[in-house]
Amino acid sequence: MAAFDDSTNPELGGACNRLAAWVEPLPAGAVIDDRSGLTEQDLALILRHLHATRQDGSNHTSDAGDSSRSPGRPSVPITARD
């Protein structure tokens, strides 16, 4: 998996790669922490945002009206599943 290897912050990129490897096998909608309500979907959303901003810190993608995304389970970037 090399989804975050081109990050301008190698330490953050490495941490994101490790988190993505941990999140990817989780079942859709899995609750990570009952107390806070943190779910697999929350972590995947955070990872997608970090992936979109990994090189220059600006978000070049928009979630609003993005019809290119397939319906169903949100996931970390597809490049993470190499």
- Percentage of the residues of the chain whose pLDDT score is greater than 70: 65
Q: Residue 71: is its pLDDT beyond 70?
A: no
Full-prediction pTM beyond 0.75?
Answer: no
Q: What distance in Å separates the CA atoms of residue 73 and residue 6, rounded to the nearest whole number? A: 25
CA distances in angstroms from 34 to 20, 27, 81, listed in the order given: 20, 15, 27
**Strands 38-39 vs 31-33: parallel, antiparallel or unpaired:** antiparallel
Q: What is the mean pLDDT of residues 12-20?
A: 90
Q: Residue 51: is its pLDDT beyond 90?
A: no
User: How buried is 40 (Cβ within 10 angstroms: 0-12 exposed, 13-18 middle, 19+ buried)?
Assistant: buried
Q: Which of 2-6, 56-60, 72-76 has the highest mean pLDDT?
A: 2-6
State the pLDDT at residue 37.
95
Residue 28 contacts residue 40 (beta carbons within 8 Å): yes
